[in-house]
Amino acid sequence: MSLNLTIRKAYPEEIDTLADIAFVAWERDLLPFLNGAAASRHAEQERLTAAVRDGLDRVIVAEVNSVAVGWCQRIRGRAYIPFLFVTPLLQNQGVGTALLRRMESLLELEGADRIQLDTLADNVRAVNFYQHQGYQILALKSDGQHGRETQMSVRLEKRLDPWRGPIDDIG
């Protein structure tokens, strides 16, 4: 199936929509691996809404037929992706790949020579997806506070080919 896919900047009026996409994907793809406070639906919904709102200027959105279906965010001042979500109905259709490639291209234009991200170690589908996109596992780490239930995550990294020249206006 060929999608009419567009990647664009996020708009302030779609904060709730993007948070909802993330929450539905989180609920399906990540919640099964979580326990304790990390599994709080209410807390995660609030966290995702705040993440979109506070980082809106660093969010790109995938849309199909003018409907937002996924988004990717980077951290200010770092080549690090904390969030990549695609609505479950369109996963495995190239949406996540398109978002990831566009974010990588943006970071290359800014001179980044590598990009990093984390995902739950138990989320084998996500780890495989990132490895298929050229990411390599750097480390396995424990997330959470000492003495409480923790989850293991994987830090992945990909080498980029940064642009080292001037960017001229096209006119």
144: confidence class by pLDDT, cuts 50, 70, 90: low
pTM attached to this predicted model: 0.87
**Nearest-CA neighbor of 22 among 60, 43, 52?**
52
CATH at residue 39? 3.40.630.30
The DSSP result for 135-161, as a single string, is -EEEEEEEES-TTS--EEEEEEEEE--
Q: Which residues of 34-45 are buried (b: 16+ CB within 10 A; e: fewer)?
A: beeebeeeeebb
- What is the mean predicted confidence (pLDDT) over 16-27? 90
Q: Judge whether 169 lies within some domain.
A: no
Is 167 a domain residue? no
Of the CA atoms within 13 Å of residue 20, those in its CB half-sphere come to: 6
Asked whether residue 97 is assigned to any structural domain, the reply reads yes
The three-point CA angle 81-132-69 to 5° equals 55
Residue 166 belongs to a domain:
no
Give the per-residue pLDDT at 27. Answer: 81
Whether 101 is covered by a domain: the verdict is yes
In a domain, 165, yes or no: no
Average pLDDT, the chain: 88
Whether 46 is covered by a domain: the verdict is yes
Domain, as residue range, for 34: 5-159
Partners of 136 in beta bridges: 157
